[in-house]
Structure 1
Amino acid sequence: MSRLTALDQLLEQYQQLQYHQDPALRLRLGQAQQWLKNRIQDTHQTLFNQPENQLMAQYFLQRLYGGSEFDALALQIERLLKYAHKAEKMIPENAIRTGLKSVGLAVLAMQLDEQVTIQLLRDYPLDQPIDDEMMRLTLIRLDQQQARLQQLELLDELGSSLDKYMNSFMMHTAFRMCKGVAMKYHFELMYDFIGEGFVAMKPMKSAADFIQQFTEKERLIVDNVHSDKPKPFKI
């Protein structure tokens, strides 16, 4: 069985998202994701602003928390799967394994955010700007508590994988060597998706430590929301 079978399954989940066929849902999803990214930047400002963390912070916001950037990547993943045997030869196994975790997190984020967006469209006019209270009430109605906690657990697992598999000279060397092949077969976006994780890690002592600090605060916010605390996003 191909090591990329899981990637095929993730792509299918992504393609089943409703916003692909619903312009209003797509518009509101973009707004909801922008609210989330703004909230994350505000919550983790101190962590993100540390010089060694800035690249990883951008990787989180642009890659792992979805958005329009993932659409183009999904198209390339679909093409990549047609040449799975070539991809498995040119990309190191541990890079594939860690890349799958990253893609899985991006798809999960899209799934959860779409659920939020559907609820927003049910409860509020499309042109009403999203604010903290709207989002608080929406998250309570959806009861995504367990799903969000699972998302954070997967993030912690990614941090461990990054430290274990990606932070080695041999892995960096092997990955750089396959860049030419990736360009030849037009897998640049997938290569960059994994490669940006390498680049983001370079200034850091430990990706796992960064992610654990991030998830600790995120778990507190999840608990605040579902404990009906006022202003749960301000910590």
Structure 2
Amino acid sequence: MSKLAALDQLLEQYKQLNYHQDPALKQRLNDAQNWLKQRILQTHAELFAEDKNKLMAQYFINRLYGGPEFDDLALQIERLLKYAHKAEKIIPENAIKTGLKSVGLAVLAMQLDEQVAQYLLQHYPKDQPITDEMMRETLVALDQEQARHEQLNLLDELGLSLDKYMRSFIMHTAFKMCKGAASKYNFELMYDFIGEGFVAMKPMKSAATFIRSFTEKERIIVNNVHSGKENPFQIA
């Protein structure tokens, strides 16, 4: 079986999202994700401000938490799957494994955020700016607590994979040697998606340590929301 078979399943999940055929839902999804990203930037401002963490912070915001950037990547993944035998020769196996985890996280983020967007559309005017209270009410109503914890668990797993597979000099060298072939077969976006993980890790001693610092605070927020705490997004 192709090492990229799991990508096919993830792509199918992505295609099933309703926002592809619903402009109003797509706009509300963008609004919800922008709210989330701004909230994350505020919550983790101190962590993200450290010089060694800045590139990984960008990777989180632009890659792992979905958004319009993922749409173009999904189109390239679909093309890549048609040439899986070539892609598997081009991209090192451990890079593929780690890339799969990253893509899986991005798809999960899109699924959860689309649920949020659908609820917002159904219960609030479509052009009403999203407030903290609107988001709190929405998350409580959707009862995403378990799913959000699973999302954070998967992030922790990604951190371990990045440290285990992506710090090897041999792996990094082999990956860089694939750049020309990736360009030849038009797999640049997928290559860059994985490659940004390499670049983001370089200034850090451990990606897993950074991610654990991130997920610890995110778990507090999830627990705050679902325990009925006032101002759940405001934590020290």
TM-based fold match above 0.5: yes
Whether 1:228 and 2:223 are equivalent positions in the alignment is no
**What fraction of aligned residue pairs are identical, expressed as a percent?**
77
CA distance in 2, matches of 1:167, 1:228: 41
Q: Which residue of 1 aligns with 2:154?
A: 154
Show the counterpart of 2:31.
31
Residue 175 of structure 1 and its aligned partner are, at CA, apart by 0.1
2:76 corresponds to: 76
How far apart, in 1, do the equivalents of 2:45 and 2:168 lie? Answer: 29
SS in 2 for 1:67: coil
Query: TM-score scaled to structure 1, two decimals?
Result: 1.00
> Partners of 2:40 and 2:167 in 1: how far apart?
26
2:131 corresponding residue in structure 1: 131
2:120 is the counterpart of 1:114:
no
How far apart are the structure 2 equivalents of 1:6 and 1:75? Answer: 16
Question: TM (normalized to structure 2)?
Answer: 0.99
- Take 2:56 and 2:8, find their aligned partners in 1: how far apart are those partners? 26
Query: Aligned with 2:205: secondary structure?
Result: coil
Q: Distance in 2 between matches of 1:6 and 1:232?
A: 36
Helix, strand or coil at the partner of 2:58: helix
CA distance in 2, matches of 1:172, 1:49: 26
Which residue does 1:141 correspond to in 2? 141
How far 1:168 sits from its partner (Å)? 1.1
Equivalent residue, structure 1, for 2:41:
41
Q: Distance between the aligned counterparts of 1:121 and 1:127, measured in 2?
A: 9
CA distance in 1 between partners of 2:36 and 2:120 (Å): 14
Show the counterpart of 1:16: 16
Structure 2 counterparts to residues 99-110 of structure 1, below 5 A: 99-110=99-110
Counterpart CA distance in 1 for 2:181 and 2:134 is: 48
Q: Distance in 1 between matches of 2:127 and 2:155?
A: 33
Q: Per-residue deviation at 1:117?
A: 0.5
Question: Counterpart amino acid of 2:78?
Answer: E
- Alignment correspondent of 1:210: 210
Deviation, 1:45, is 0.2
**2: distance between equivalents of 1:208 and 1:170?**
20
State the distance in 2 between where 1:220 and 1:34 align: 21
1:86 and 2:90 aligned: no
Measured in 2, the distance between the counterparts of 1:80 and 1:46 equals: 38
> Cα deviation per residue 1:10-33 (whole Å; 9 max; x = unaligned)?
000000000000000000000000
- State the distance in 2 between where 1:88 and 1:41 align: 36
Q: Distance in 1 between matches of 2:171 and 2:27?
A: 40
Could you list the runs of 4 or more consecutive aligned residues of structure 1 that deviate by over 2 angstroms after TM superposition?
none
Q: Distance in 1 between matches of 2:232 and 2:156?
A: 22
Unpaired stretches in structure 1, ≥5 consecutive residues: none
1: CA distance between counterparts of 2:127 and 2:211? 35
Measure the CA separation in 1 of the matches of 2:166 and 2:186. 23
Q: Which amino acid counterpart does residue 229 of structure 2 have in structure 1? A: K
What's 2:164 paired with?
A: 164
Deviation of 1:156 (Å): 0.2
User: What is the DSSP-based 3-state SS (H/G/I as helix, E as strand, rest coil) of the residue aligned with 2:38?
Assistant: helix
Structure 2: which 5+ runs fail to align?
none
Question: How big is the shift at 1:118?
Answer: 0.4
Q: Which residue number corresponds to residue 55 of structure 1?
A: 55
AA of the residue aligned to 2:8: D
Provide the secondary structure at the position in 1 that maps to 2:32.
helix
Offset, 1:146: 0.1
